[in-house]
């Protein structure tokens, strides 16, 4: 029997009411899940944040050092100025992260029209130690993640509604990320890509939106760089990329490299040969990735090269850390150019480390070093962080690894499968934003693996973005399998 036709105005009112009801339910469930998780986390946080025991991390932020981006230093110093101490800083750091996560979850659910996707991302995000433990440290992770998730939530809002203000605020969030940790720079491309490739407006209008987003980014970065110029005399964001890259380059050392390089290089060569042997002796891939991180970052850089440089390289001894970073950058790139194939292997292993997360593998799946004291930093400085393995509950491990591994594979499929439609500006807005997220996320992983060792702390647990990408794909797949709605017209209703 033919269904009665509903007037257009009445149909719009009914559809609007249903949409409002869904949004109220989604918001209520998200807030309830968020409050439960926040209460659990806040009860476990320490009163005072844990500080690192080296002068280039926590104390550098407090001192507003030239080689660190300034925003986190501004935050912690402003907090101490207002409260008189650092007490309860972990609570504030968690609320910054959790506020961004709430916006991210709400806008993801609204974009996908899925209450399940919105609610499930909240507990899954907290399973990762890189997120769960971050608020308790006086380090940048929580603030960085808060801006990342807030920016992505606003990108989802822009994809859903075309709200231009959301795009500009998202651009500001990614710029604030970058002046918190310089690795956030990869995400500066996200608002520009989504604006330019937006199919809902003509190319000239899209270019205008991208230009306004670029202006917002330039303003935020320019203010931070101008502050550095007035305080330190240098118009830059601040980074220790050269010192980070050195840890990978030192693993490439051969005896012939000592001839035309500073004295600490010759002093490090025996340790580099020994480190490569130790890495190769590990029983499985996960153990080798952990050993590579330990050998490069701790053994060769901190336990060998730095003491040798302080004792026998006058230019190093007289320099501050920003100047030391400038000293070792050409040294690191020179070693990479001399040993390109070896560097590519190290790069690939560190990228695998970011995807496979070997620090969290269970005991039955990976071995441990037979003698940790064979690694120099373990012996000399009791620094075995790179070799440490954290046995997580099975549900947490499975969720993390599935998100990371399947998310990486899904991102590759999305990047290849949707590229032609997206680049021709023929794809739907949600496809554009998830394609751009996949591109920026995995470009950032490649850049991180180039400069850093393969420990997931250096990505600040970007598996949340893999969860969002997988949620989008799963929601789209479920809708394809669902029966079509019954209508009385020739064109059934469908989401764009």
Please give the Cα distance from 165 to 426 (Å, whole number): 23
Q: Of residues 72 and 401, which shows the higher confidence score?
A: 72
- Predicted confidence at residue 6, as pLDDT, reads 39
DSSP letter at 91? H
- Predicted confidence at residue 363, as pLDDT, reads 86
* Residue of 402, 422, 416, 469 whose CA lies nearest to 441: 469
For a pLDDT cut of 70, what percent of the chain falls above it?
94
Query: Can you give the residue ranges of every domain in the chain?
Result: 17-236+393-478, 241-387
397's tokens = 């491990």
Please give the Cα distance from 157 to 151 (Å, whole number): 10
For 71-81, what is the mean pLDDT?
A: 96
Task: Read off the pLDDT band of 130 (50, 70, 90).
Answer: confident
Q: State the alpha helices, DSSP H only, in 281-305.
A: 285-293
Q: How far is CA 482 from CA 83, 479, 487, in A?
A: 55, 5, 15
Mean pLDDT is lowest, of 11-20, 33-42, 231-240, 447-456, for: 11-20
pLDDT in tens, 142-178: 999 999 999 999 999 999 999 999 999 999 999 999 9
CB atoms within 10 A of CB 266: 16
pLDDT in tens, 418-451: 999 999 999 999 999 999 999 999 999 998 899 8
Task: Read off the pLDDT band of 483 (50, 70, 90).
Answer: low
User: Hey, which residues does 50 pair with through a beta bridge?
Assistant: 137
Q: Which residues contact 440 (CB under 8 A, 6 or more apart)?
A: 186, 187, 189, 190, 193
CB distance 146 to 134 below 8 Å: no
Q: Please, how many CA atoms are within 13 Å of residue 42, restricted to the half-sphere of its CB?
A: 14
CB distance 369 to 389 below 8 Å: no
For 40-48, what is the mean pLDDT?
A: 93
* Residue of 221, 231, 159, 160 whose CA lies nearest to 191: 159
CB distance 140 to 94 below 8 Å: no
* pTM for this entry: 0.91
CB distance 169 to 129 below 8 Å: no
CB distance 107 to 153 below 8 Å: yes
Q: Which residues contact 4 (CB under 8 A, 6 or more apart)?
A: 488
Phi and psi angles of residue 87, each rounded to the nearest 5 degrees, phi first: -60, 140
Given a cut of 90, whether residue 32 has pLDDT beyond it is: yes
- Can you say how many angstroms the Cα of residue 128 is from the centroid of all Cα atoms in its chain? 12
For 401-413, what is the mean pLDDT?
A: 92
Mean pLDDT is lowest, of 205-209, 231-235, 491-495, for: 491-495
* Residue of 311, 309, 341 whose CA lies nearest to 327: 309
Task: Read off the pLDDT band of 484 (50, 70, 90).
Answer: low
């Amino acid at each position: 029997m033919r269904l009665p036709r509903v007037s257009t105005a009445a149909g719009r009112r009914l559809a609007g009411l249903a949409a409002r009801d869904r949004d109220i339910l989604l918001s209520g469930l998200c807030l309830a899940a968020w409050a439960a998780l926040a209460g659990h986390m806040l009860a476990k946080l320490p009163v005072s944040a844990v500080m690192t025991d080296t002068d280039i991390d926590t104390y550098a932020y407090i001192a507003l050092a030239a080689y660190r981006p300034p925003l986190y230093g501004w935050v912690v110093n402003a907090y101490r100025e207002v409260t008189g101490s650092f007490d309860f800083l972990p609570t504030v750091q968690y609320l910054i992260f959790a506020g961004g996560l709430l916006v991210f979850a709400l806008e993801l659910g609204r974009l996908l029209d899925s209450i399940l996707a919105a609610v499930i991302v909240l507990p899954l995000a907290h399973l990762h130690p890189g997120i769960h433990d971050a608020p308790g440290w006086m380090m940048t992770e929580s603030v960085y993640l808060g801006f990342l998730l807030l920016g992505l939530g606003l990108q989802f809002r822009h994809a859903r509604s075309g709200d231009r203000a959301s795009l500009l605020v998202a651009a500001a969030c990614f710029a604030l990320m970058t002046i918190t940790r310089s690795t956030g720079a990869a995400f500066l491309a996200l608002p520009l890509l989504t604006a330019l490739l937006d199919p809902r407006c003509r190319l000239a209008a899209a270019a205008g939106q991208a230009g306004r987003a670029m202006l917002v980014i330039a303003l935020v970065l320019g203010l931070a760089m101008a502050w550095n110029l007035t305080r330190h005399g240098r118009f830059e964001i601040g980074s220790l990329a050269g010192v980070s890259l050195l840890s990978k380059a030192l693993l490439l050392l051969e005896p012939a490299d000592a001839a035309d390089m500073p004295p600490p290089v010759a002093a490090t060569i025996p340790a580099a040969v020994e480190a490569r042997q130790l890495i190769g002796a590990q029983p499985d891939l996960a153990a080798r990735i952990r050993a590579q991180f330990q050998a490069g970052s701790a053994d060769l850089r901190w336990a060998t090269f730095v003491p040798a440089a302080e004792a026998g390289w006058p230019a190093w001894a007289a320099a501050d850390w920003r100047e030391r970073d400038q000293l070792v950058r050409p040294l690191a790139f020179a070693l990479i150019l001399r040993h390109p194939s070896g560097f590519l292997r190290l790069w690939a292993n560190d990228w695998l480390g970011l995807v496979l997360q070997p620090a969290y593998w269970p005991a039955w799946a990976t071995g441990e070093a037979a003698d940790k004291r064979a690694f120099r930093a373990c012996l000399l400085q009791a620094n075995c962080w790179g070799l440490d393995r954290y046995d997580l509950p099975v549900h947490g491990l499975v969720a993390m690894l599935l998100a990371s591994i399947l998310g990486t594979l899904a991102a590759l499929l999305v990047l290849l499968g949707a590229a032609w439609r997206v680049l021709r500006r023929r794809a739907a807005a949600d496809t554009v934003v998830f394609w751009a997220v996949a591109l920026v996320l995995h470009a950032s992983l490649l850049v991180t693996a180039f400069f850093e060792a393969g420990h997931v702390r250096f990505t600040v647990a970007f598996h949340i973005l893999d969860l969002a990408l997988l949620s989008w794909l799963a929601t789209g797949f479920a809708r394809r399998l669902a029966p079509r709605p019954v209508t009385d017209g020739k064109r059934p209703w469908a989401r764009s």
